[in-house]
């Protein structure tokens, strides 16, 4: 297996991402909500001003997704961070999250927030191990029950990252 490739999303990625999201949710007995919480998956890859959408590919197959949506005042929302179940544990999730965080930083965002569900244990572990901190419930979070934020102006040691360079450890975004 080759190393994952990370790139900006294009319209043809949307159907692959919808499959990954809906299959993941179904595996946890959660309904896919195309008109609600999962609306962003329905338009994944379509051009949107300011929105950063990325996919991970392995051997030409879309295996992961993530969206960063600016919310104003330097804040952004990270959504649709999913990795196909068949490809978890293969070096896809951590660098894909890193691509999104670095892109948010490059776009001038200072803080990212996300919501998730308490049964996504692997994702929660990844968030906690990369500096995300629990925050109070966000309005409009639907059935999500955990909320995290990441300060983009500091690295994991609390050091300013304003003048540092960054790149994904296992791949390259384009």
Q: What percent of the chain has pLDDT over 90?
A: 76
The number of residues in the chain equals: 174
What CATH number matches the domain at 5-151, 3.40.190.10, 3.40.630.30, 2.60.40.10, 3.40.50.300? 3.40.630.30
Please write the tens of the pLDDT for every residue from 108-144: 999 999 999 999 999 999 999 999 999 987 666 667 8
**Average pLDDT over the chain, rounded to an integer:** 88
Question: Residue 77: which pLDDT band, with cuts at 50, 70 and 90?
Answer: very high
Tokens 């965080």 sit on residue: 101
Q: What is the mean pLDDT of residues 98-114?
A: 97
Q: Between the CA of residue 16 and those of 22, 48, 57, 62, 121, what are the distances in Å? A: 10, 19, 11, 6, 23
Segment (H or E) for 66: strand 61-72
Q: What is the pLDDT of residue 174?
A: 38
Q: Give 126's contacts (C-beta < 8 A, 6+ positions apart).
A: 93, 94, 97
Give the CA diameter of the chain.
44
Measured CA to CA, the distance from residue 148 to residue 151 in angstroms comes to: 10
pLDDT of 28 higher than 70: yes
Radius of gyration, CA atoms only, the chain: 15
Contact status, residue 67 vs residue 53, Cβ threshold 8 Å: yes
> Which DSSP symbol is given to 2?
P
> Which DSSP symbol is given to 114?
E
Contact status, residue 30 vs residue 23, Cβ threshold 8 Å: no
Sequence ranges of the domains in the chain = 5-151
If we measure between CA atoms, which residue out of 48, 31, 3 comes closest to residue 14? Answer: 48
Q: What is the pLDDT of residue 170?
A: 41
Lowest-confidence pick of 65-79, 93-107, 141-155, 160-174: 160-174
- Cα-Cα-Cα-Cα dihedral sign, residues 88, 89, 92, 96: positive
Indicate the pTM of the whole model. Answer: 0.86
């Amino acid at each position: 297996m080759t190393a994952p490739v990370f790139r900006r999303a294009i319209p043809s990625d949307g159907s692959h991402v919808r499959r990954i999201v809906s299959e993941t949710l179904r595996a946890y007995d959660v309904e896919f909500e195309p008109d609600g919480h999962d609306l962003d998956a329905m338009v994944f890859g379509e051009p949107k001003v300011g929105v950063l959408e990325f996919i991970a590919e392995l051997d030409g197959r879309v295996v992961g997704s993530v969206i960063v949506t600016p919310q104003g005042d330097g804040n952004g929302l990270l959504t649709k961070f999913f990795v196909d179940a068949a490809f978890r544990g293969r070096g896809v999730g951590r660098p894909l999250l890193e691509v999104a965080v670095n892109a948010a930083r490059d776009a001038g965002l200072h803080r990212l927030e996300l919501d998730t569900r308490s049964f996504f244990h692997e994702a929660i572990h990844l968030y906690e191990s990369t500096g995300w901190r629990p925050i109070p419930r966000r309005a409009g979070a639907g059935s999500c029950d955990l909320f995290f934020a990441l300060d983009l102006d500091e690295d994991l040691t609390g050091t300013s990252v304003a003048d540092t360079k960054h790149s994904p450890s296992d791949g390259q975004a384009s």
